[in-house]
């Protein structure tokens, strides 16, 4: 007994260590997959899709379909992010902001990252096709392909990448609208326009904050790296000015009442004010304030839109 007991203890300890090692490896892998899927973007996309679904729904909302639609859309968002990181592993290595991403850092191979992206895309498209409707599935697939096959390679070629990238970026509320059975009419176009125009000051602010990273990696995320941000500021201002009337389009499309218009004017003018401050003083501080302000403006705007819509239909 005295001889067997120490051997059993050592074997038990070895098994415990092996289990702990496997668990630690799995948790690290899960953390890498989570990072590749960019959960904050998934959360914003889910909120936008939910808003579009509610706005296209009758008084009674089918919550099971809402949940399945959000799952499918989020899977395709995760796929877009994963495949983007596979394609941009080389440039991600050159930027401080992205050098720790799983593929860029070498923790995950490009093949594994591509498999993850394709699997997520397949699951998302299948969920939408089977449980939601074909229109949403097709639109979501084309949205992902536009992000991966057009926006991602264009970042190294042309400053038009921001405009091209704004198209898939504006699709989540439209996908939610389609998921609820809505048609691609003036209401969906109004939602698309709000998201499309909102993105430009937001992304130009981000581009300015990380301009050294982008220039070092050869990514053409700003209209110019050599004019001290003059062109960047004026383009951001143009879109911020356009956002004031564009933010009111849901009212024109019949999705909201005067209460929403009042909120939209307050929020869009606040967005414009932050943009003007950035144009006048093109510093990282002003750019960061604009970026944070944009992240407050859009969710609050969506909330006001949904609340006013529910008030109208109740």
Domains of the chain by residue range? 35-184, 186-314
108-122 pLDDT, tens digit each: 999 999 999 999 999
- Mean pLDDT for the chain overall: 91
Contact 41, 298 (CB under 8 A): no
Q: Name the DSSP class of 148.
A: I
Contact 288, 282 (CB under 8 A): no
pLDDT > 90 in the chain, percent: 72
Fold adopted by 35-184: Tetracycline Repressor; domain 2 (1.10.357)
17-33 pLDDT, tens digit each: 667 767 777 888 889 99
5-9, 52-56, 165-169, 224-228: which has the minimum mean pLDDT? 5-9
143-186 pLDDT, tens digit each: 999 999 999 999 889 888 999 999 999 999 999 999 999 988 99
Please tell me whether the overall predicted TM-score, pTM, comes out greater than 0.95 for this model: no
What is the C-alpha separation between 13 and 23, in angstroms, rounded? 15
What is the C-alpha separation between 36 and 44, in angstroms, rounded? 16
What is the C-alpha separation between 242 and 278, in angstroms, rounded? 17
3-state secondary structure of 268: helix
- Sequence-distant contacts of 209-212: CB under 8 A, at least 24 apart: 209/284, 209/287, 209/288, 209/291, 210/95, 210/97
How many helices (H) and strands (E) in the chain?
Answer: 16, 0
The per-residue pLDDT for 278 is: 95
195-225 pLDDT, tens digit each: 999 999 999 999 999 988 888 888 887 776 6
Tokens at 115, concatenated: 């498999």
Q: Name the DSSP class of 60.
A: S
Q: Is the pLDDT score of 3 beyond 80?
A: no
């Amino acid at each position: 007994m005295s001889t067997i007991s120490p051997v059993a203890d050592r074997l038990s300890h070895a098994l415990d260590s092996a289990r702990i090692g496997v668990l630690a490896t799995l948790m690290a892998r899960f953390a890498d997959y989570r990072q590749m899927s960019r959960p904050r973007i998934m959360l914003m996309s889910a909120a936008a899709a939910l808003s579009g679904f509610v706005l296209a729904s009758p008084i009674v909302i089918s919550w099971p379909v809402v949940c399945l639609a959000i799952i499918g859309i989020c899977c395709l968002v995760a796929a877009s992010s994963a495949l983007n990181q596979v394609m941009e592993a080389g440039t991600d290595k050159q930027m401080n902001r992205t050098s720790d991403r799983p593929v860029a850092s070498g923790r995950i191979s490009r093949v594994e990252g591509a498999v993850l992206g394709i699997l997520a895309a397949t699951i998302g498209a299948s969920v939408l096709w089977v449980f939601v409707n074909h229109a949403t599935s097709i639109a979501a697939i084309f949205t992902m392909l536009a992000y991966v096959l057009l926006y991602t390679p264009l970042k190294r070629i042309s400053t038009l990448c921001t405009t091209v990238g704004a198209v898939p970026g504006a699709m989540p509320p439209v996908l939610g609208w389609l998921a609820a059975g809505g048609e691609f009419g003036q209401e969906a176009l109004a939602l698309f326009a709000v998201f499309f125009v909102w993105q430009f000051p937001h992304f130009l602010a981000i581009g300015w904050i990380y301009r050294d990273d982008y220039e070092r990696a050869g990514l053409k995320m700003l209209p110019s790296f050599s004019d001290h941000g003059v062109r960047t500021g004026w383009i951001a201002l143009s879109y911020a000015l356009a956002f004031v009337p564009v933010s009111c389009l849901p009212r024109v499309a019949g999705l909201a009442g005067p209460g929403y218009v009042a909120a939209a004017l307050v929020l869009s003018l606040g967005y414009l004010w932050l943009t003007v401050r950035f144009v006048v003083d093109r510093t990282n501080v002003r750019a960061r304030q604009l970026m944070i302000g944009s992240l407050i403006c859009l969710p609050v705007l969506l909330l006001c839109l949904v609340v006013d819509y529910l008030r109208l239909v109740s």
